Chain A
Amino acid sequence: MGVQITGIGIVSAIGKTVAENLGALKSGRSGIAPVQYLKERPELLVGEVKIGNAELIDKLAINNPNISRTSLLGLTAAREAWGNSPHHSGIRTGIISSTSVGGMDRSEWFYRDFLKQGNPDYEVLLCHDSGNTTERIARELGISGYINTLSTACSSGVNAIMLGARLIQQDKLDRVLVGGTDALTSFTVNGFKSLMIYDDAWCRPFDESRTGLNLGEGAAFLLLENDKSAAISGNKTLCYVKGWANAADAYHQTASSPDGKGATMAIQKAIKLSGVGIDKIDYVNAHGTGTKNNDLSESVALKNVFGDAIPPFSSTKPFTGHTLAAAGAIESVFSVLAIQHNLIYPSLNFTTPIAEAGLIPVTDLITDREVNTVLSNSFGFGGNNSSVVFSSTL
């Protein structure tokens, strides 16, 4: 029994819909720009979703405005992925979101007031916990039952897809909306700055001169269905989730191992489970954050797995910024679009290969070949490594 993807939704720095994101990917237009919405020093480069909270609340017709930006972005993408799917008592439906900051976008404002000993609004904290961000999305969509949230830093989004696929495969659910959402926060901006891996210039994944990442924000959801659910909903199959794996690097709390152990294991296991030949991977959407450590470790892992025959690969983070827990979901939607439209995206801002690895990512949009199978990687803090394989055929 296959796990079908029958709906996708996305909001990111390069667009508020699937169509807008696709357009930007095709035209090579980055969404990273000097900060506009978050209160930070004006020259900070970030991948913001170009819409304020008030406008989002209005657009989404939210009744209770005590809601985090993380939920608002998530709901925007979740609604698009859900589309007009019917609620049906015969379809066991669930939702799995993922987030790393949860409601921190508002909690940090609360905390500013709290430290100033002003009159902070404690009600804001009701939206702080990560689980709440998902419950709000579920409530708005009318989903009850299996409602879950994962938080494994930058690999969260892929883990949500993996867990959803497993729940369908083990016949626990017929249909599950999976994805991730994270709002940009001063908490994470300052956090990555404290680690000294926030680039003041545009991030340059897989480039010798790379010095760090630019943070972004956004959300993406994918609707997964089994045959029974798809037959009832009438939704068309976009492609299939074929393989997945998660492995712990167990090397360092934040850094990836120089031998790319966890990443190698995740990629190998995901491809093996997919049953697709290693030579059949048409495109790798890399994690490629632009940090010294990740890109080298990931390059080593790609060499470990593919040897001299590394498929065309790129990082789309120079388009969106690093969206943390949403990244895996956003890049999975990009992978689905790559299969639907036979596209291989460029790695923007690349000029010189990393000396120790020598790998050259795709630098110009490729449109002249079939893309049937895509591998997407997401590697996170704490050594959480996840990979997922999408395919046009069962």
Chain B
Amino acid sequence: MVYISAASGITHQPTFKNAGFSASLDTISSDTELVSPNYKDYIDAGLLRRMSKILRMSVACAKECIQQAGEIHPDAIVVGTGLGCLQDTEKFLNTFLSVEGLLPPTSFIQSTHNTIAGQISLSIGNHGYNMTHTQNTLSFEHALIDSIMMLAEGDAHILVGAADEHISFLDSVAEQLDVTLPVAMTSGCSFFVLSKEKTDQTLAKLTAVETYGEIQKLEEHLNNFFESNSIDPARLDLVLFSGLDIDACGQVLHYLTSRGVKEDQIQDYLIYSGIYPTASAFAVHYAVDKIGQDPSLKNVLVCNCMNRRNLGLTLIQSVEA
């Protein structure tokens, strides 16, 4: 069994160091902003100056998460990111395409996806397994699967999380491609400590995570997921759902409602997180927080079909379940 020992998030909601946040969320508005902590509390000022948004979010969030777990030394650091370090990528593109001669290297160095996990390992002096998954909307789920495997191979604690940053260029891309989004695109990062042993601090159980890319047999995948985890969909107390494509989402919703999940037990999480490729990490944080607040919640499913070709399923259970 995999236990969630700590959960932390920096998002457009008051998620940071704010247990119980799930009770008082407003829908994301169009002029929404990231709720940033005082980064200097977590990152040296000299380093902070050079860090892009995604790096400061991730390092601060990861450090807070480790503190929450009782200053554990993670055996591995695993990160998922859909689009990586966009701010530095954009900056270096601008630099090398418009500046002649010697170029400053910082934005190039910080443009690679693994900068996030690398900076976290540097900031806490961690020499363990260090991995970066980038499978667009399923990047976080893949990071979770890897982490669960690391625990099965003998590790005790894994720091796992996801991060994506919004840059205004993304809005122009959406506009130019005629993509109409139901809520604003946002930035967000969430980190968790997963542990092999249950302690007094344990927040919830991470029971199962599966990804299905290039979906061919949706119903079969869903059947397999529930059967192999011995859970009847009717026993789900809450489904946190994301979906942008009506057809594909409709099929998943129909599957759930026709098997006993009531409509008022299904909740869209994108209206709270905003849209970014790893928003399902926000949903897991939200689920863990809800479970902490409401003892009647036993089984929560995060159902990620933000991209119609891909499905991510994450089952979180209360410690008692």
Co-complex (A, B): yes
Q: Which residues of A contact B (CB under 8 A)?
A: 100, 107-108, 111-112, 115, 122-123, 125-126, 129-132, 134-135, 138-139, 143-153, 159, 163, 166-167, 170, 172, 186-187, 190-191, 193-195, 246-254, 261-262, 265, 380-384
**A142 and B153 alpha carbons, distance in the complex (Å):** 31
Q: Within the complex, which residue of A115, A139, A186 is in contact with B98, where a contact is CB–CB below 8 Å?
A: A115
Q: Assuming the A-B contacts A129-B82, A151-B112, A191-B108, are A248 and B121 also in contact, with contact meaning beta carbons closer than 8 angstroms in the complex?
A: yes
| Distance of A122 from chain B, by nearest CB (Å) | 4
Cβ-defined contact, B102 with A194, below 8 A: yes
B63 at the interface (CB under 8 A from A): no
**A76 and B92 alpha carbons, distance in the complex (Å):** 30
**A195 and B112 alpha carbons, distance in the complex (Å):** 14
- B140-191 contacts to A (CB < 8 Å): 142, 145-146, 149, 152-153, 173, 176-177
Instruction: Specify which chain B residues have a CB less than 8 angstroms from the CB of A251 in the assembled complex.
Output: 122
Least CB separation from B47: chain A residue: A253
Cβ-defined contact, B125 with A250, below 8 A: yes
B126 at the interface (CB under 8 A from A): yes
**A123 and B108 alpha carbons, distance in the complex (Å):** 24
**A263 and B104 alpha carbons, distance in the complex (Å):** 28
| Distance of A270 from chain B, by nearest CB (Å) | 12
Q: Within the complex, which residue of A152, A172, A190, A246 is in contact with B108, where a contact is CB–CB below 8 Å?
A: A190
Cβ-defined contact, A186 with B96, below 8 A: yes
Q: B24-32, B206-214, B288-296: which one contacts chain A?
A: B206-214
Instruction: Specify which chain A residues have a CB less than 8 angstroms from the CB of B114 in the assembled complex.
Output: 151-153, 380-382, 384
Instruction: Specify which chain B residues have a CB less than 8 angstroms from the CB of A190 in the assembled complex.
Output: 92, 96, 103, 108
Instruction: Specify which chain A residues have a CB less than 8 angstroms from the CB of B152 in the assembled complex.
Output: 170
Cβ-defined contact, A125 with B139, below 8 A: no
Instruction: Specify which chain A residues have a CB less than 8 angstroms from the CB of B93 in the assembled complex.
Output: 107-108, 111, 187
B40 at the interface (CB under 8 A from A): no
**A167 and B153 alpha carbons, distance in the complex (Å):** 11
**A381 and B98 alpha carbons, distance in the complex (Å):** 25
B243 at the interface (CB under 8 A from A): no
Q: Assuming the A-B contacts A115-B98, A153-B112, A187-B92, are A131 and B105 also in contact, with contact meaning beta carbons closer than 8 angstroms in the complex?
A: no
Q: Within the complex, which residue of A146, A150, A167, A383 is in contact with B131, where a contact is CB–CB below 8 Å?
A: A150
Cβ-defined contact, B122 with A253, below 8 A: yes
- B81-130 contacts to A (CB < 8 Å): 82-84, 92-94, 96-98, 102-105, 108-115, 117-119, 121-122, 125-130
| Distance of A59 from chain B, by nearest CB (Å) | 23
Q: Within the complex, which residue of B118, B138, B211, B215 is in contact with A381, where a contact is CB–CB below 8 Å?
A: B118
A-B pairs, top 6 by smallest CB distance, nearest first, are A382-B118, A147-B213, A191-B108, A131-B136, A190-B96, A151-B113
B134 at the interface (CB under 8 A from A): yes
Instruction: Specify which chain B residues have a CB less than 8 angstroms from the CB of A147 in the assembled complex.
Output: 135, 211, 213-214
| Distance of A90 from chain B, by nearest CB (Å) | 14
Cβ-defined contact, B97 with A249, below 8 A: no
Show 7 A/B contacts (Cβ-Cβ < 8 Å), sorted by A: A107-B93, A130-B113, A151-B133, A166-B149, A172-B145, A252-B122, A382-B130
Instruction: Specify which chain A residues have a CB less than 8 angstroms from the CB of B118 in the assembled complex.
Output: 248, 253, 381-384
Cβ-defined contact, A382 with B133, below 8 A: no
Instruction: Specify which chain B residues have a CB less than 8 angstroms from the CB of A166 in the assembled complex.
Output: 149, 153
Least CB separation from A104: chain B residue: B89
Instruction: Specify which chain A residues have a CB less than 8 angstroms from the CB of B216 in the assembled complex.
Output: 144
Task: List 10 additional A-B contacts (Cβ < 8 Å) besides A194-B102, A194-B105, A381-B115.
Answer: A107-B93, A122-B173, A126-B177, A129-B83, A135-B213, A166-B149, A167-B149, A191-B111, A194-B104, A382-B117
**A186 and B142 alpha carbons, distance in the complex (Å):** 30
| Distance of A187 from chain B, by nearest CB (Å) | 7
**A215 and B113 alpha carbons, distance in the complex (Å):** 19
Cβ-defined contact, B115 with A382, below 8 A: yes
Q: Assuming the A-B contacts A131-B82, A145-B212, A149-B133, are A383 and B109 also in contact, with contact meaning beta carbons closer than 8 angstroms in the complex?
A: no
Cβ-defined contact, A253 with B212, below 8 A: no
Cβ-defined contact, B212 with A248, below 8 A: no
Cβ-defined contact, B103 with A247, below 8 A: no
Q: Assuming the A-B contacts A152-B114, A194-B104, A381-B114, are A248 and B214 also in contact, with contact meaning beta carbons closer than 8 angstroms in the complex?
A: no
Least CB separation from B112: chain A residue: A153
Cβ-defined contact, B173 with A191, below 8 A: no
Q: Within the complex, which residue of A134, A249, A382 is in contact with B112, where a contact is CB–CB below 8 Å?
A: A382
Least CB separation from A167: chain B residue: B149
**A147 and B142 alpha carbons, distance in the complex (Å):** 9
Q: Assuming the A-B contacts A130-B113, A247-B127, are A122 and B176 also in contact, with contact meaning beta carbons closer than 8 angstroms in the complex?
A: yes
**A111 and B281 alpha carbons, distance in the complex (Å):** 30
| Distance of A80 from chain B, by nearest CB (Å) | 21
Cβ-defined contact, A150 with B149, below 8 A: no
Instruction: Specify which chain B residues have a CB less than 8 angstroms from the CB of A153 in the assembled complex.
Output: 112, 114
Q: Within the complex, which residue of B83, B121, B125, B133 is in contact with A148, where a contact is CB–CB below 8 Å?
A: B133
| Distance of B66 from chain A, by nearest CB (Å) | 14
